[in-house]
Structure 1
Amino acid sequence: MKKVLSKIVNVLTFSVIIALAALIATVAINAQKGKITTVFGYSFMTVQTGSMEPEYPIGSSIVAKKVDASELKVGDVISFYSADPSMNHSIVTHRIKEINSENSVVCFVTKGDANDIDDKYQVSAGDVIGRVTGKSKLVSAISKVKKDPKLFFLVIVVPICAIITWEFVGISKKAKASSNEKKDS
């Protein structure tokens, strides 16, 4: 019974480690490509410009939580898809300066903290990705590791190889022990 329980715990632990590694890698890769990854209503993005400095410097990874537009207020920092045609619907993170509601349609006037003027185009409620809840040091660190091939190899590849080797050795020992038990009987 202990052997079965031990095997189940090992498989579950290994599965969780692989799932977390895959999730972190996906978030880091998408962040570098300017795409977002959303998990349980939280989106992860990387700041591409200095418009929100010093609070969110270029390269920082931020987390935005999906919220209803009615919950947003002046002063909140939001991430959204820009309506500016020159920006190709890219993701922007700016602070809400004003909220306009006309014919039950809510729009937000936004501005980057480091910018002198408000954004030219208002943000519709449907273009809001979420309210920024803070920075993700883990995703920022993973992004930095991914950019440096030597560091990536040391921090990601070596531990994964070690885990795989450790599991393989454990499986081999159990197979050999099982084989020896069959020979003895």
Structure 2
Amino acid sequence: MKQKGKIAARVISFIILIFAIFIMIFTIISVSTVNKEDSSLFGYKPFIVLSDSMQGEFEAGDIVVSKEVDSSTLKEGDIITFRSIDPNNYGGVMTHKIREVTTYEGELAFTTYGIATGADDAYPVPADNVIGQYQFHLAKMGYFFQFLKTVPGYFLLIFTPFMILIIMQAIRFFQLLKQYKREQQEIINQNSEALEQEKLKTQQMQKELEMLKAQLAAEQNINQPLNSDEEDKKV
């Protein structure tokens, strides 16, 4: 059971770590690229969808990703992201479908529309205002990004996972420290027992040596009178 608990803790730590790394990478990329016309990631530019004018392809709250493209290669049916020249939304970024390749003030332009309404946009899109061609979208990730930028989002999705990891690693550290101290104490106890055994052996040897000395001394005392009698006879 103890081993299973360790494995489960490691799996949970790994999942939290992967999640935290994903959120961190997503945050860095998002903050530096989402809704920023002048920034891109390998030519790809993400934008948050603010309306349902393209419902059926993508919806409000999604993130659309468009890629930089040569405007001269665009054709009818392509979906493009562009800066609007409509006075009511001048400079606003939109992603609509091309209905027709046309001209505006003698330059290449595109008539666009939202597929949800089917109505053409009031003004064409000059080729210079094209930001990129739509590639794919991330469903509802716009809401996620907006939440991530809030204080609760930061604490819930960034701060909390890293704090959990830190706490789990701290618990792991103290467990290892406790185990290390226990092992060291066991080694000390083993060494103490070994020293005690050596001490007992030394004491036993000393007793045996003293007994041997006493025995030798006793034998010498017995032999000494005999030697004296023999000398008297010779005289």
Same fold (TM over 0.5): yes
Bigger proportion of residues as strand: 1
Q: 2:28 aligns to what?
A: 23
Deviations 1:57-113 (A, max 9, x none): 111111000000122111111110001111131001110000025898310000011
Residue 106 of structure 1 aligns to a residue whose secondary structure is strand
Q: 1:97 aligns to what?
A: 99
Q: 1:183 aligns to what?
A: none
What does 1:149-164 correspond to in 2, within 5 Å?
Answer: 150=152, 152-162=154-164
What's the CA shift for 1:24? 3.7
Indicate whether 1:74 and 2:76 are aligned. yes
Q: Is the 1:110–1:118 contact (alpha carbons within 8 Å) kept by the matching residues of 2?
A: yes
| Count of equivalent residues | 157
Q: Is the 1:24–1:142 contact (alpha carbons within 8 Å) kept by the matching residues of 2?
A: no
Provide TM-score, normalisation by structure 2: 0.53
What's the CA shift for 1:142? 3.5
Bigger proportion of residues as helix: 2
Counterpart amino acid of 1:96? I
- Decide whether aligned partners of structure 1 residues 156 and 142 sit closer, same or farther in structure 2, where only a CA change above 3 A counts: farther
Q: Is the 2:79–2:96 contact (alpha carbons within 8 Å) kept by the matching residues of 1?
A: yes
Percent identity over the alignment?
32
Residue 159 of structure 1 aligns to a residue whose secondary structure is helix
Larger-Rg structure: 2
Residue 128 of structure 2 aligns to a residue whose secondary structure is helix
Runs of 4+ with >4 A deviation: 34-37, 101-104, 147-152, 162-169
Q: Is the 2:104–2:126 contact (alpha carbons within 8 Å) kept by the matching residues of 1?
A: no
Provide TM-score, normalisation by structure 1: 0.66
What does 1:4-153 correspond to in 2, within 5 Å?
Answer: 17=21, 20-26=25-31, 31=34, 35-36=36-37, 37-101=39-103, 105-137=107-139, 139-140=141-142, 142-143=144-145, 145-146=147-148, 150=152, 152-153=154-155
What's the CA shift for 1:168? 9.3
Root mean square deviation, CA, Å = 3.8
Residue 83 of structure 1 aligns to a residue whose secondary structure is coil
Counterpart amino acid of 1:119? D
